[in-house]
Amino acid sequence: MAKRVAVVGAGVSGLASIKCCLEEGLQPTCFERSDNLGGLWRFTTKVCSVTKRPDFTVTGQWEVVTLCEGKQEATIFDAVMVCTGFLTDPYLPLDSFPGIHTFKGQYFHSRQYKYPDLFKDKRVLVIGVGNSGTDIAVEASHVAKKVFLSTTAGAWVRSRVCDSGLPWDMVFMTRFLNMIRNSLPTPIVSWWMARKMNSWFDHANYGLVPEDRTQLKEFVLNDELPGRITTGKVLIKPSIKEVKENSVIFNNTPKEEPVDIIVLATGYTFAFPFLDESVVKVEDGQASLYKYIFPAHLQKPTLAVIGLIKPLGSMIPTGEMQARWAVRVLKGVNKLPPASVMIEEVNARKENRPSGFGLCYCKALQSDYITYIDDLLTSINAKPNLFSMLLTDPRLALTIFFGPCTPYQFRLTGPGRWEGARDAILTQWDRTLKATKTRVVQESPSPFASFLKLFSLLALLGAIFLIFL
């Protein structure tokens, strides 16, 4: 009989987990506390507790207690996939804003924000330059009287549109560039990163330059912010010194600024209230999970956490890759190493010792997208072998190495192999550009451009020769 798997949460990680369970012949039941999706899932069903069965050391089974329409129900599952995300609880560090309790206007966490109408003709203060704070400040700036965006640490802000108008992640996230980044000392990579970021606009001139340029903070992706700053619609300010009844004072600025609404875009924390601490313990913003997925100390590897990671790349394929490996472990096809090896990996990650090379992923849950995905691909024997491919299918090998690291690459071989993967890789740019090429224009080829292409091709072949041989 197929193993029954409880999937807790129907976000992108939960949906990927359901799909991976089905691909491996497991029997998933997904519990989702909200009412957003329909179909097979058991909606508006909150998971209250997940506990080991008394015979756990033999069966690895869990008792999942759920609450639906006031009724509690307990069900036995052979395995559990926890897909509740890392943005579960709003982080509200009110102590960082002395006097906020005396504020007579409205203040709320960014999670409560839905539409900008409430900002109409108001003086708005948004605290925190993360993606939430920046999105909200920009939206508010179209209707508000004044918008302040306060930052303590600054951030690199970049456009979704990169060189030549291409999507930034398709340009930035290639195996070739990743290899170069990871082979260079961190100060050089940080300098190069700063140069690249400042090529769009000088972050120092806009008051946004990150205080710590070595430790990578998540980029802010926003196409509009620089334009809103140059037109005076958004005013970048330092951290908050004091909040008064109807105004704020920023650090290092004597002037008191009148404010009507404060949005605390101060991020999130996460927790697993339905799990005992002996199963998964959250400390300093991270959980002790082998490869960010499996508790290292369980007698049976029948519980996996999916999506508890911040890769410098797309979250959706990362969650899917995690689920692909995890279901094979839950099924018993792939084995975990001994507990001592897993604990060692977990402890090394907690120590967070920078290697001195590549980007510095020193914040909890941050990871290098390609390195992490490759590690999981290796675990299920699905990592494409570029060396042998260079001999059998050089065009594909070069496109994989120099082109965007799109998830088709993860389906070329091994379990879950997809016949259409090769073709999808070779035609990925056609689909990307189709979205913008809504008016077809005739381009006359320039002889100089053809010469340059030929020269680049030769230089490329030279580089490949040097890299591979």
Ligand X SMILES: NC(=O)c1ccc[n+]([C@@H]2O[C@H](COP(=O)([O-])OP(=O)(O)OC[C@H]3O[C@@H](n4cnc5c(N)ncnc54)[C@H](OP(=O)(O)O)[C@@H]3O)[C@@H](O)[C@H]2O)c1
Ligand Y SMILES: Cc1cc2nc3c(=O)[nH]c(=O)nc-3n(C[C@H](O)[C@H](O)[C@H](O)COP(=O)(O)OP(=O)(O)OC[C@H]3O[C@@H](n4cnc5c(N)ncnc54)[C@H](O)[C@@H]3O)c2cc1C
Taking each helix axis from N to C terminus, what angle separates 447-468 and 394-402, rounded to the nearest 10 degrees?
90
Q: Check binding of 286 to ligand X (CB under 6 A).
A: no
C-beta of 175 vs 244, nearer to ligand X: 244
Q: Which does 128 bind (CB under 5 to 8 A by kind): ligand Y, ligand X, none?
A: ligand X
Angstrom distance (rounded) from CA 417 to CA 250: 55
In the complex, what is the shortest distance from the CB of residue 231 to ligand X, in angstroms, rounded to a whole number?
A: 21
Measured CA angle at 295 (ends 289, 299), to 5 deg: 155
Q: Which does 216 bind (CB under 5 to 8 A by kind): ligand Y, ligand X, none?
A: none
State which residue has the least CB distance to ligand Y: 11
In the complex, what is the shortest distance from the CB of residue 233 to ligand Y, in angstroms, rounded to a whole number?
A: 21
In the complex, what is the shortest distance from the CB of residue 240 to ligand X, in angstroms, rounded to a whole number?
A: 7
CA dihedral of residues 337, 342, 348, 349 (deg, nearest 10): 110
Q: Check binding of 133 to ligand X (CB under 6 A).
A: yes
Place of tokens 């967070």: 352
Helix (H) or strand (E) holding 194: helix 186-198
**Do residues 324 and 366 touch, judged by C-beta distance below 8 A?**
no
Angstrom distance (rounded) from CA 83 to CA 417: 24
In the complex, what is the shortest distance from the CB of residue 109 to ligand Y, in angstroms, rounded to a whole number?
A: 11
Q: Which does 267 bind (CB under 5 to 8 A by kind): ligand X, ligand Y, none?
A: ligand X
Q: Check binding of 307 to ligand X (CB under 6 A).
A: no
User: For 137, which DSSP code?
Assistant: H
In the complex, what is the shortest distance from the CB of residue 150 to ligand X, in angstroms, rounded to a whole number?
A: 7
In the complex, what is the shortest distance from the CB of residue 238 to ligand X, in angstroms, rounded to a whole number?
A: 9
State which residue has the least CB distance to ligand X: 130
In the complex, what is the shortest distance from the CB of residue 318 to ligand Y, in angstroms, rounded to a whole number?
A: 9
Q: Check binding of 242 to ligand X (CB under 6 A).
A: no
Q: Check binding of 267 to ligand X (CB under 6 A).
A: yes
Q: Check binding of 366 to ligand X (CB under 6 A).
A: no
**Do residues 281 and 288 touch, judged by C-beta distance below 8 A?**
yes
Q: Which does 266 bind (CB under 5 to 8 A by kind): ligand X, ligand Y, none?
A: ligand X
Angstrom distance (rounded) from CA 467 to CA 414: 26
C-alpha closest to that of 48 among 70, 65, 68, 35 = 65
Angstrom distance (rounded) from CA 252 to CA 333: 60
Q: Check binding of 218 to ligand X (CB under 6 A).
A: yes
Q: Which residues of 279-313 are buried (b: 16+ CB within 10 A; e: fewer)?
A: bbebeeebbbbbbbbbbbebebbbbbbbbbbbbbb
Annotate each residue in 87-126 with x if it binds ligand X (CB under 6 A) or - if it does not, as one string.
x-----x--x-------------x----------------
Angstrom distance (rounded) from CA 223 to CA 149: 16
C-beta of 200 vs 429, nearer to ligand X: 200
**Which of 126, 129, 296, 359 lies at the binding interface for ligand X (CB under 6 A)?**
129
**Which of 153, 452, 460, 461 lies at the binding interface for ligand X (CB under 6 A)?**
153
In the complex, what is the shortest distance from the CB of residue 456 to ligand Y, in angstroms, rounded to a whole number?
A: 33
Q: Check binding of 130 to ligand X (CB under 6 A).
A: yes
Q: Check binding of 131 to ligand X (CB under 6 A).
A: yes
Q: Check binding of 84 to ligand X (CB under 6 A).
A: no
**Which of 265, 275, 329, 373 lies at the binding interface for ligand X (CB under 6 A)?**
265
C-beta of 31 vs 172, nearer to ligand Y: 31
Residue type (1 letter), 227: G
Q: Which residues of 265-278 are buried (b: 16+ CB within 10 A; e: fewer)?
A: bbbbebebebbeee
Measured CA angle at 210 (ends 207, 212), to 5 deg: 145
Query: Which residues would be at the binding site for ligand Y (CB under 6 A)?
Result: 8-14, 31-34, 46-47, 83-85, 87, 132, 274, 307, 315, 319
Structure tokens at 358: 């590549």
In the complex, the residues that contact ligand X under the rule CB under 6 A are: 87, 93, 96, 110, 127-133, 135, 151-153, 155, 218, 221, 265-268
